[in-house]
Structure 1
Amino acid sequence: MGRIIEVNGPIATVHLPGVLNGEQVRIGKLGLVGEVIARSGEEAVVQVYESTESVRPGESAEPLGHPLAVELGPGLLGNIYDGVQRPLAATYEASGDQIARGLSLAPLDRARRWSFTPEPGMAPGARLDGGEILGRVPETKTIEHRVLVPPDGRGELIELAPNGEYAVEDVIARLREPSGAVRELRLYHRWPVRTARPYRRRDHATSPLITGQRILDTFFPLLKGGKAAVPGPFGAGKTVVQQQIARWSNAEIVIYVGCGERGNELVEILETFPELTDPYTGRLLMERTMLVANTSNMPVVAREASIYVGVTLAEYYRDQGYDVVMVADSTSRWAEALREVAGRLGQMPVEEGYPAYLASRLAAFYERAGRVETLAGLHGSATLIGAVSPPGGDFSEPVTSHTKEIVQTFWALSKELADARHYPAVDWTDSFSGYAGQAATWWAENVDPRWAARRAEALALLAQADELARIVNLVGPEALSSAQRWALEGAALIREGVLQQSAFEEVDSFCSPQKQFMLLDLVLELHGRGGELLGIGVPVQELLALPVLARARRLKTLYASNQVDELSGFRGEIRETFERLRTEYGKPGGGT
């Protein structure tokens, strides 16, 4: 037992000989919990997860013997936790609207019983390694929970529980370790959040994460197991983009971490998510979702910890062989927490006051993404998507610039596009994807082999239109040739008919890969046939007045994702319209 020497905001200096770096410590009469982040002789510096108001020097300090860890077992899905894995529903029952300081609650329900089925062929005498599957539990109607030997467990199976109902604290297996000690295994185990969970080897990710958002999937794809960032200023629509990804992505498990965002935004998420229907199963979305809620008025250190809690939960379900997507909103608030704690510790600030280790901490977080072969021989993935909130939309600030160097997919949101009511407000000029080459293989095999060429053609047309728009702003549209005016119209068709997508439009909120390619292909065919007619003397004014252009803009809302065949019928309307014009200008029979 030690004592508190000094308190400085969330930082407490304690006298605790022998305590380890990273070890958790309980301090004061309130029993506040924190973790050791520095040591000097017999003194340790502790960052506390809660407000230290009224905590005084001289009060007790007690080491807990373990680092910050999360409980991993059945009962996680459908739950809402705070930044240190306290279940908010149970917290509300215990302390009301405000979380009482020093409140300690079990993350997993100790009273609930689960139907456990041992893994076939698993019997006493078997040699087990970490990560192997002991048995299975139906966690929800849609997700089967695979009970794993902890990654640090290894030895001979002495006993395994039969089929039956068990609480998470019940012993379901006993393992004789190489040292001869007998280890009891339960339905859950604990794992330190700052330590990445081990795996056998990394896979080469090849399957894209399908979000149903055209500008993300078609133009700037993200692979399962990849890492992406969504930077954007206030009001650009980051939260809606992330909610769309959480709702519509083809991942099996979704983890949403609200890290230091405004309370009203998180309240909206906490209220809407439990009511959403999973489009893939028809059941509640929360049956495959977890929420970690840490608002901006919660303790700064818990905000810093919440990201690690979320990624550890993602790795746990990845180890069960699932594809997991974790959305962190936002890493900027997490970085601000790092800056505040570093300031309290008197560490040397560098860019804009952030600590010198900001880039390495960001890289270490994103590096925990990946598609892997698990210790049990399964294949799973953890996809990390971090929102970034640069002050004033300045992408050169440290968090955004470092993140841009780390991630391979960058969905840059534009305030100008948002102000123009163009949603999602993803800027096709500043965004990029390093996964396009790998995604092309999947698109060629599952949708259309022309995907890569059509995508490149559309991006080139958008870039050309941006250049022409600058000329128009300087000297007016009269300076443009007919071909240039038609290029501007083609880019407008892509923007309005393909890239724009309403999250609140029932037909268009989600767009299948087949419908995405069909829309893009139709718009590009329309533009290409118009260009041919310009070459035989058809006035551009006549082309711009064609009703087929307005109809092309509305196709996305006229046909659902399961009506691709009906949508493809528009191709005949395009060809008929342009063939009629070709005939009028004396050159029939061009094109098929």
Structure 2
Amino acid sequence: MSIGTIKKVAGPLVIAEGMRDANMFDVVRVSNQRLIGEIIEIHGDQASIQVYEETSGLGPGEPVESMGYALSVELGPGLMGSIYDGIQRPLEEIMRLTGNNLTRGVEVPSLNREKKWTFVPSIAEGAQVEGCDIIGTVQETPIVQQKIMVPNGVSGVIKTINSGEFTVEETVATVEQKDGSIVKIKMLQKWPVRVGRPYKEKLSPDKPLVTGQRVIDALFPIAKGGVAAVPGPFGSGKTVIQHQLAKWAEADIVVYIGCGERGNEMTDVLTEFPELVDPKTGNSLMERTVLIANTSDMPVAAREASIYVGITIAEYFRDMGYSVALMADSTSRWAEALREMSGRLEEMPGEEGYPAYLGSRLAQFYERAGRVISKGLDPREGFLSVIGAVSPPGGDISEPVSQATLRIVKAFWGLDASLAYRRHFPAINWLTSYSLYTDDMGAWFNGAVGGDWMGERAKIMRLLSDEAELDEIVKLVGMDALSAPDRLKLEAARSIREDFLHQDAFHEVDTYTELEKQFKMMGLVLAYFDLCNEGLKEGANIEGLVGLPVRERIGRFKYLELDKTAAEYESIIETINAEIAQLLRKEED
């Protein structure tokens, strides 16, 4: 251990001298209050330390002690349902010990050392194992079975394996390595947060992360193991979308990082998530969720660490073979913490004061997502999907964080404040959003619904694009200048917007839409458009076609349960044909 003294204090940055034996990214304890920090720069015997706690009252001459290891997270039973701060300190346990306010220098283990867990071995003595192989399971919550893995770097033969109740620090198995050494395996593992957990192979994502949100699944899907960005101004619904994805996305585990968000917004998350009912099990959603709460009034340096803590926990569950969805809300606040620390280090600023390495740091974070084959003799396929919210000042996505994120992610869901103010949810703008995963997953979608999903999607996108062009004409010369076919395009696009893309997050049926039902909804709107086009050619009146009574039934189709949709779909198609035929007879008379 290296022990030095404080030379200078500048907010969360502390300069210490006498630290020649310390290493980059070592965890340190600062002053007699033992505040936790991390070395981020070394010059000679001087170390620059970002302190993860409030530094007021610190002064030169106080001791600084390097702990000799990198900032790490504790991995093992007890993670599920926990609420941590940005450096994985359990907030509920700290509140129980010290009250409602965070006390400086408090040392509380991330995982409970006293609670006993029932360990069920899944491997026999004498079996050959490597790092990441599963040796047993712990039923952590009714819906999450945590798989206890051999730590990375350990390989050999299982010498002993126990079953029964153990704490996370007790030995559950021993492994004899080739050199004859015996390694004790506990349920608790530690992993440095800035190092991605290793895997055997990274595969191309080719299956969608089904979310039940129509604008995402139908128009801008994200792959399982993919990355998406949700940029949008204040009040455009980023947090609501992330709540919906946490609740409904096809993921086994959810890791939610509140990075630098307002305290009241994080309070909403902390109170709502335990009350949210998991639609898959009927239990609390918290039983498969890990929350990391690092609000804007908490020390800024911990904000920088929080997303690494979150993604390391997510990688741990990915290695078990689970599909994990990570929500980071928001990476803009993380980048602001990066900018503040860079400024205090007196580094050369880049665009808008952000450090020159902003893009590479964002890429290091997002590149840890993916569909991977785990290491070990018995490898598993796991998925880690990352959805990052971006909060550009004033909604201007030309700023550096949004632009750096766009260069990395393959799904972009651009939120629009004007849609949000018109009460259109989700407020994802279909003209500015995109997904580069769509073509790779086309065959999967077509197979899942047993029809031409990609063809229907292309027609819908074309109608929405045509509507934008026609709107410009209408603003200049008025609706009367449009031809009848163009009027019909506008009406079909309006139906797509209001009946298909608009979704009520609080309606018990409309909050989630199965792919089969989404396909039928697309089919109804396009059938109305195609049949009305034929009616126009046969001489039907455009006003009559726009005002067909059946359109109300098309609009209400989204509120039907899935088992009632097939009969209603056929009935609506028949009614459209009948009403157009009646309109044509009136024209003839």
TM-score (norm 2): 0.97
1:179-218 correspondence runs (5 A): 179-218=179-218
Alignment partner, residue 89 of structure 2: 86
Counterparts of 1:339-350 in structure 2, within 5 Å, are 339-350=339-350
Q: Deviations over 1:557-589 (max 9, x none)?
A: 2x02343324423222223222333454569xx
Q: Which runs of 4+ in 1 moved over 6 A?
A: none
**1:289 counterpart residue number:** 289
- Secondary structure of the structure 1 residue equivalent to 2:313: helix
**What is the identity, as a one-letter code, of the residue corresponding to 2:47?**
A
Identify which range, 376-385 or 320-329, moves more after superposition: 376-385
- 1:361 corresponding residue in structure 2: 361
Please name the residue that 1:514 is paired with.
516
1:101 aligns with 2:92: no
Q: Which residue of 1 aligns with 2:60?
A: 57
Q: Distance in 1 between matches of 2:563 and 2:301?
A: 47
The within-5 A match list for 1:82-481 is: 82-120=85-123, 122-124=124-126, 126-161=127-162, 163-376=163-376, 377-481=379-483
Deviation at 1:384, TM superposition (A): 0.3
User: Using the alignment, how far apart are the partners of 2:576 and 2:292 within structure 1?
Assistant: 49
Query: Do the aligned residues in 2 keep the contact of 1:514 with 1:564 (CA within 8 Å)?
Result: no
Instruction: Name the residue aligned to 1:572.
Output: 574
Query: 1:26-49: CA deviations, max 9, x gaps?
Result: 010110011111111111111111
Q: Which runs of 5+ in 1 are unaligned?
A: 588-592
Q: TM-score, normalised by structure 1?
A: 0.96
Across the aligned residues of Structure 1 and Structure 2, the Cα RMSD in angstroms comes to 1.4
One-letter amino acid of the counterpart of residue 84, structure 2: Y
SS at match of 1:282: coil
**Residue 139 of structure 1: SS of its match in structure 2?**
strand
Structure 1: distance between partners of 2:110 and 2:80: 11
Equivalent residue for 1:590? none
Cα displacement (A) at 1:174: 2.1
In structure 1, what is the equivalent of residue 40 of structure 2?
A: 37
Deviation at 1:128, TM superposition (A): 2.1
SS of equivalent to 1:406: coil
Partner SS, residue 239 of structure 2: helix
Q: d(CA) in 2 for partners of 1:53 and 1:400?
A: 33
For the residues of structure 2 that align with 1:90 and 1:297, how far apart are their CA atoms? Answer: 20
C-alpha offsets along residues 159-215 of structure 1, whole Å, 9 cap, x if unaligned? 222x20111110112233445443221111000010000011012322211111000
Report if aligned partners of 2:321, 2:381 keep a CA contact under 8 Å in 1. Answer: yes
1:79 counterpart letter in structure 2: S
Match of 2:564 in 1: 563
State the shift of 1:228 in Å: 0.3
Cα distance change on mapping 1:309 and 1:562 into 2, 3 Å? farther
Cα offset for 1:350?
Answer: 1.1
Deviation readout 1:137-157 (Å, 9 max, x if unpaired) = 111111111001112322333
Q: Deviations over 1:256-287 (max 9, x none)?
A: 10000001111011001101111011111111
Amino acid at match of 1:517: F
Q: Deviations over 1:341-388 (max 9, x none)?
A: 000000111111100000011111110010111114111100000000
Unaligned runs of 5+ in 2: none
On the 8 A contact 1:257/1:293 being kept in 2, the answer is yes
Identity %, equivalent residues: 46
2-side partners of 1:4 and 1:179: how far apart? 44
Deviations 1:51-107 (A, max 9, x none): 111111111111111111000001101111111111111011011111101111111
2: CA distance, partners of 1:69 / 1:291: 17
Alignment match, 2:499: 497
The 8 Å contact of residues 447 and 514 in structure 1, kept in 2 or not, is answered as: yes
* 8 Å Cα contact 1:412-1:431 kept in structure 2: yes
Looking at structure 1, the residues matched to 503 and 190 of structure 2 have their Cα atoms a distance apart, in angstroms, of: 42
Secondary structure of the residue aligned to 1:469 is helix
| 2:109 partner SS | coil
Contact persistence 2:545–2:580 (CA under 8 A): no
**Aligned letter for 1:186?**
K
2:138–2:148 Cα contact (<8 Å) kept: yes
